[in-house]
Amino acid sequence: MDIDYREFRDADPGSRVLMGPGPSDVPPRVLQALSAPCIGHLDPYFLSMMDETQRLLRWLFQTKNALTIPVSGTGSAGMEAAFVNLVEPGDEVVVCVNGVFGMRMADVTERLGGKLIRVDQPWGRAVDPEAVRKAVKGRKPKIVAVVHAETSTGACTPLEPIAAIAREAGALFLVDAVTSLGGIAVEVDKVGIDAVYSGTQKCLSCPPGLAPLSFSDKAMQALGARKTKAPNWYLDLSMVSNYWGAERKYHHTAPINMIYAIREALRIVAEEGLEARFARHLVNHKALVAGIEAMGLSMLVPAAERLPMLNSIRIPEGADDKKVRGALLKDFGIEIGSGLGEFAGKIWRVGLMGHTARQKNVFLLLSALQSILKAQGVKVGSGAIEAASKVFSKV
């Protein structure tokens, strides 16, 4: 079968401002690192890049865990890796579900033959520790799992109270930090997290393709005590750890250029400093909320439970969800996300993650959204920019 190569255009999507639930805008330095020459995955230079990447990840996770690596795959691969290595058929697993990504953890648990103990909570709210305590009472679960930052709603669940419940029950504490890592504190050792995974494309502002993951000694002991092999060969950390450890034993060909990219993204985080980075995410969030509320719109999540990096805005009456998002993309080059699950068509999800969390992007979105809503005949206030400016002026 013949094919004309001229039918296929160069890859040039044009300029975008990525303000959806991920990916986020990628800094030029990270793109430059991504384009560095590809070398062998056992080349001495690349092995030094691996060592530095691990050091930076341990610093970001605030942990001394030996097994702290970027899994070759997106954040969902990180989730799979955490569960397939720790869950065996018949294991009791408590999964907190307050959105789409809690549902995914529950789904994976059942696929692995685990005995799911599901703690359902209202979507758009943080998980209530007392509901977890009630579910654990009288049981000896192997794992208690929670989503720190529920990307489908923008709700943030404090980790410390649930970590304490897991410890009291003698369970491993497993955390989804896909959206939180790099935007708010994820203090693995201090909190007592045994297994945690994230993704590169959110607050780290690196292209999607790697899943930072860390296992505590307790989690590694559980892995070593398995009665059966992990059911997923590619994500079997008992083998992958030998490649990332001192042995450098071949397992799979690492995505060399993505390791360059995440290393550079982590360098940028280190240059800014964690406290400064967290403060930047928070002030941009507060400014966005102030502008949204000045327009007469409202947020989904109560103020005390909101994530700074993922903002869920209730779609006002009279607004056409798809047309608003389409106009933002076509006329302003801005991408935002739609609602998922029970909030489909009811909210917009606005990401202020990593490199995207900047004053100019807040002003751009507020101006564009105000203009588009007015054009659709939706009554909105006109003080959005002024309200956001007041927040920024206090910094």
Q: Indicate if 317 and 249 belong to the same structural domain.
A: no
Give pLDDT tens digits for 217-255. 999 999 999 999 999 999 999 999 999 998 899 999 999
Q: Give the tokens for residue 17.
A: 């401002």
Range of the domain at 384: 274-393
Please tell me the predicted confidence (pLDDT) of residue 1.
82
Give the Cα-Cα-Cα angle 211, 215, 217 (nearest 5 degrees). 165
Asked if 174 and 299 sit in the same domain, the reply is no
Counting beta carbons within 10 angstroms of the beta carbon of residue 318, is it exposed (0 to 12), middle (13 to 18) or buried (19 or more)? exposed
pLDDT digits (tens, 9 = 90+) for 36-58: 999 999 999 999 999 999 999 99
Distance CA 92, CA 82 (A): 15
CATH code, domain carrying 340:
3.90.1150.10
Work out the average pLDDT over 299-305.
98
Q: Which of 246, 270, 294 is the last residue of a domain?
A: 270
Q: What's the structural domain count of the chain?
A: 2
Specify the CATH number for the domain of residue 255: 3.40.640.10
What pTM was computed for the model?
A: 0.96
Which two tokens mark 308?
């700074």
Task: Give the model's pLDDT for residue 137.
Answer: 96
| Pair 254, 328 in one domain | no
Mark whether 282 and 378 lie in a shared domain. yes
Which residues contact residue 59 at a Cβ distance below 8 angstroms, ignoring those fewer than 6 apart?
A: 270
Q: Is 165 a member of any domain? A: yes
Residue 6 maps to a domain: no
pLDDT band at 268, cuts 50/70/90? very high
User: Does residue 1 form part of some domain?
Assistant: no
Do residues 265 and 278 share a domain? no
In 10 A of CB 325, how many CB atoms?
18
Residue at 57 is within a domain: yes
Q: What is the mean pLDDT of residues 176-202?
A: 98
My answer on whether 171 and 129 are in the same domain is yes
* 309 and 212 fall within a common domain: no
Of 222, 240, 270, the residue that ends a domain is 270
Q: Which of 346, 310, 286 is nearest to 150 (CA)?
A: 310
pLDDT average, residue stretch 175-203: 98
Q: So what's the pLDDT on residue 395?
A: 84
Report the pLDDT averaged over residues 111-125. 98
